[in-house]
Structure 1
Amino acid sequence: MDAISRKHVPLICILLFFGFSLLTAEKEIPVTKFGQNVGGPTMTFLYCYSCGYRKAFEDYVNILSEKYPQIKVTGANYNPPGMNMYFSKMIFAIKILLIVVIVSSYDIFGALGQQTPSWWRHLVDNKLYACMMIFFVGNMLEGQLVSSGAFEITLNDVPVWSKLQTGRIPAPQELFQIIDNQLQFGDKIQENPDFVK
């Protein structure tokens, strides 16, 4: 019994590490909007970080801060739809687990009482090649899952542009026209004189 326990210590350590890393994953707490930016317009950009749209967002921030200094511009990553983010995290965890098992030369099949397949021996014998292939293929799959192609723009929580619907990012002049129309519409709203302040 003691020999079996010693034999399974690396596997138990790997599983504990794997479980702990999943439990301590970041949990996002949404920011409440109450009391933020009272009185001023806010433009929010949600963009696909893996598509390289962060640079476009930064360019728009610079352009908008010059032309519309009264507008607060914020940006964030557009979360992929459905279960894609969870599948991406699962692929990441499996990728790391496989790399750790290969580097440690742990015989999973022997621990399970099975004969070790030749492909597994090949992976363990060629650690560097196997780990690099697992890493790059895993990254490719993760990137494919989280890539949304989004560049969504809202002004005061009202959608004003969607790359997912139009298929393109707006030209600066188009965005200026949209903002001018939205702000002009906002200026036409009259305050209620009977409203208690």
Structure 2
Amino acid sequence: MGAASLAVLVIVCCVVAAQLPEEPQQELLHLDKAPRHELRVLYCRSCGYRQAFEQYEKMLHDKYPGVLKIVGEVHDSSMISLLIARLLGLIKMMLVVVIGSGKWDAMMGWFRRRLRQHFEGTGAAQRRRLSDQPAEANPELQPATGWRRWCNSNRWTACVAIYAGCAAIETACVATGAFEMFLDEMPVWSKLESGRAPQPAELIAIIDSHLAMIRAR
């Protein structure tokens, strides 16, 4: 009787196991939950649009869980604008260092002498002749006037003003103002054309319309 009961128990277990769903089907169901659509957003980082992108990303993840993949990328300006911005950055740092150290007059005098020697072919004799001239006839020996005097007297204020002004110009050079959206590589919104970012309701309506059009195919 014990062997017969064990055999019946084994048969019942085999029948129950045969009725369970297969493991590969569960894996397929899990793969079906992967996002099948992609929303790519190109935004201008220097304009402060990264925070706006993160807000849209959170909203769309909550609205379309497992359906939509959101990708954000920085929209860069042209190569010429980037080069101009980098050049301004170098000039900005050089001016801040020179004015802050109080070597502005010395640097400008050295720069003028070098230019004169290069373009006019002046040598040691002409430098001695310039040094022998009175201050009224030699501009290199004259005291600083105008904005140079102001920079020498207000070094830190001049440094802050130059730094802030150059930084504003740098930002204007690299700023594109872009907030472009592409759904499955199709353009659905352009801030460069419309002049504004989409409202949440507008963006949801655009995505719903696009998804409905794909399902209808």
What is the TM-score normalised by the length of structure 2? 0.61
Cα deviation, residue 109, structure 1: 2.0
User: What is residue 104 of structure 1 aligned with on the other side?
Assistant: 101
The two structures, once aligned, show a CA RMSD in angstroms of: 2.4
After superposition, residues 31-180 of structure 1 pair within 5 angstroms as 40-69=36-65, 70-81=67-78, 83-106=80-103, 107-112=106-111, 113=113, 115=140, 117-118=144-145, 119-180=147-208
Cα deviation, residue 76, structure 1: 2.5
After superposition, residues 8-27 of structure 1 pair within 5 angstroms as none
1: CA distance, partners of 2:150 / 2:47: 35
Identical aligned residues as a percent: 36
Cα contact 2:181–2:187 (8 A) shared by 1:
yes
Mark the runs of 5 or more structure 1 residues left unpaired by the alignment. 1-37, 190-197
1: CA distance, partners of 2:90 / 2:108: 20
2: CA distance, partners of 1:58 / 1:123: 43
Structure number with higher helix proportion:
2
2: CA distance, partners of 1:44 / 1:74: 5
Q: 1:153 is paired with a residue of what secondary structure?
A: strand
1: CA distance, partners of 2:157 / 2:63: 52
Cα contact 2:75–2:176 (8 A) shared by 1:
yes
Larger Rg: 2
Runs of 4+ off more than 4 Å: none
1: CA distance, partners of 2:167 / 2:108: 26
Q: 2:140 is paired with a residue of what secondary structure?
A: coil
1: CA distance, partners of 2:73 / 2:90: 24
What is the TM-score normalised by the length of structure 1? 0.67
